[in-house]
Amino acid sequence: MSADGQKVAVAPCSGIGKPFGTVAREAAYELCETVCPADTVLVALGKLVLGDAAARETVSRNPVVTIDGCQRMCAAKTVKRNRGAVLHEVMVLDVFRRHRDLKPEGIAELNKAGEELARVLAGEVATIVPELKAAVAKGACHA
Amino acid sequence: MPELPDRKVGIVACCGEEIAEGTVSRLATLKVLHDLRPDDTVTICLPLFVAGDAGECAFARVHPTIAVDGCDLRCAARATEALSGKPAASLVVSAVVAEQGLAKPEGRRRLDDAGKAAVEATATRLAALVDALAAAGDAGRAAESAMSAVQPQARNVACACGRGGTPAKASGVA
């Protein structure tokens, strides 16, 4: 398959206990709905936990970016277990370390700083989306 | 009668990022955890059943657990049963919405008014399930406590990872 029409699959963690998990989810929405809607597709991690066939197909045939809220790296591990081609792993904490003024608070609803941190993270990933799509042509995925 | 630790009710939400009902499952769970039943509930991220350690995988064997799913795929309920333990109860947001005649939620990132109504309805139903399981747990613990007080016995203490265990004496001391 050529890189034409290929999308980057974005898999955020399903973190429910910490603001960093909410940032991961919000950053994935920002990337897939606002910044790069034509080049990305969101993947629900819950589907991959039991190996849903359609979700497996998505992560195995497209380059994948995982966004994790904590060091447990659930998103990256779960995608890899499903034969996903994880070409870029992001941990929210790493982004926060570079932007310590953007301390996220709130789980059900992020504060302004958390929303901005999500936008920053999405923007950073967006800059490498073309590179990730190009990697498909080099055989990085199972396509 | 010996004091036994409270066993909190576990809640596992699918959090399905692709659909609004997944967001409802997440927000309804958080509402119960933070506002409605904060002293009686705990949660765990669903993917930790794959990525976590043995203790985390034992979640549904330790806590009577309610699975909260956004849709009929029931990823949370099926994954919990397959990877941790059979849920004591389960709830599907789309079914709650249909039963209560609510409009279909929209806006997976920012819920619309129908989504917010679905959160309220799901959280209310979830809190009622928590109460029922907590009450059942209290009754069970009281019976167990009464039994152990009169009849100390050996029993198997299974490892949290589910790989068996060694016989141990229950203290059974009143």
Q: What are the tens digits of pLDDT across the range A58-109? A: 999 999 999 999 999 999 999 999 999 999 999 999 999 999 999 999 999 9
Does the residue A32 lie in any domain? Answer: yes
Closest CA to B29 of B18, B17, B44: B44
Cβ–Cβ under 8 Å, residues A136 and A3:
yes
Nearest residue of chain B to residue A77 (CA atoms) = B51
Does the residue A142 lie in any domain? Answer: no
Does the residue A127 lie in any domain? Answer: yes
Closest CA to A116 of A129, A102, A128, A132: A102
Classify the C-alpha dihedral A141-B17-A12-A124 as positive or negative.
positive
Cβ–Cβ under 8 Å, residues A28 and A10:
yes
Does the residue A3 lie in any domain? Answer: no
Residue A15 makes CB contacts below 8 A (sequence gap 6+) with A21, A22, A24, A25, A68, A69, A70, A74, B45
- Predicted confidence at residue A140, as pLDDT, reads 62
Does the residue A63 lie in any domain? Answer: yes
Residues of chain B whose beta carbon is less than 8 angstroms from a beta carbon of chain A are 13-19, 22, 26-27, 29-31, 34, 43-52, 73, 75-76, 78-79, 82-83, 108-109
Residue span of the structural domain in which A108 resides: 8-137
Question: Which residues of B fall within a CB distance of 8 Å from A23?
Answer: none
CA distance B86 to chain A (A): 15
A106: left (phi over 0), alpha (psi -120 to 50) or beta: left
Question: For position A112, which CATH number holds?
Answer: 3.40.50
Answer whether A49 sits within 8 Å of B75, measured CB to CB.
yes
CA distance A47 to chain B (A): 6
- Predicted confidence at residue A1, as pLDDT, reads 41
Kindly report, residue by residue over A102-143, the tens digit of the pLDDT.
999 999 999 999 999 999 999 999 999 999 988 776 766 654
CA B32 – CA B120 distance, rounded (Å): 10
- Counting as low any pLDDT under 50, the low residues of chain B are 150-174
Does the residue A143 lie in any domain? Answer: no
Nearest residue of chain B to residue A69 (CA atoms) = B45
CA distance B109 to chain A (A): 7
Total domains in chain A come to: 1
Single-letter code of the amino acid located at B88: A
Answer whether B43 sits within 8 Å of A16, measured CB to CB.
yes
CA distance A114 to chain B (A): 15
Residue A140 makes CB contacts below 8 A (sequence gap 6+) with A63, A85, A87
Does the residue A129 lie in any domain? Answer: yes
Does the residue A55 lie in any domain? Answer: yes
